[in-house]
Amino acid sequence: MTNQDPLEAYVTTLRSALSGMTVTDREEIVEEIRSHVADRVSTSGLTVEETLQRLGPVDELAKDYMSGALVKRARTSFSPFLILRATFAWAMTGVHGVAAFVIAVLGYALGLGMMICAFLKPLFPEQIGLWIGPDLFTFGIHPSDVPAREVLGPWFVQVTLTIGILSFIVTTVIMRRLLPRFKYWKKAAFHPSAHRRVAVQAN
């Protein structure tokens, strides 16, 4: 049973944890880990289990690989999914990441909501609209118990589509500008310029 082989189990977990990478990158990492284990076992008399233990927990190893790779890909990506995943990884590290994640979620949610409105309008022309009443300002379905009138009329689809697309673009641009800070935060204490600042203070 290959499942019992500790190296195979380690490699399988590593592969699935690195599933966000390209196959080439992932397999190269797996090959390198295999090569490391083979070398360690044949030259230092350690067992496979001991070698794997010295490599550290597999999820931690994968996290180390992914945080760099994910953010790097997201920084040049137009995929909201990828950007959200990278920002989520950032959010796990502290309050600034959480703030960035909230901006991303709100921006994309607004974009998605507007797209859905534009899509639903031709299907339910009487219910979907920009409804404005004495106590109401809402894009979407008209709440039947509140007095309100639809103000956009034939422009509804164009307006919601424009706002939707703009939300996606603006959020993506903002996140692509914010994400490089993630790396900066992680390395701040050891960044060359941080060294210089501390050294200046120390003198």
Site residues (vs other proteins, CB under 8 A): 28-29, 31-36, 38-40, 42-43, 54-56, 60-61, 64-65, 68-69, 72, 184-185, 187-190, 192, 194-196, 198-199, 202-203
Tell me the closest approach of the beta carbon of residue 13 to other proteins, in angstroms: 13
* Nearest residue (CB) to other proteins, 86 versus 148: 86
Tell me the closest approach of the beta carbon of residue 74 to other proteins, in angstroms: 13
* Nearest residue (CB) to other proteins, 102 versus 194: 194
* Nearest residue (CB) to other proteins, 42 versus 144: 42
Q: What separation, in Å, do the N-terminal and C-terminal C-alpha atoms of the chain show? A: 63
Tell me the closest approach of the beta carbon of residue 6 to other proteins, in angstroms: 15
* Nearest residue (CB) to other proteins, 22 versus 162: 22
Tell me the closest approach of the beta carbon of residue 21 to other proteins, in angstroms: 10
Tokens coding 39: 């070398």
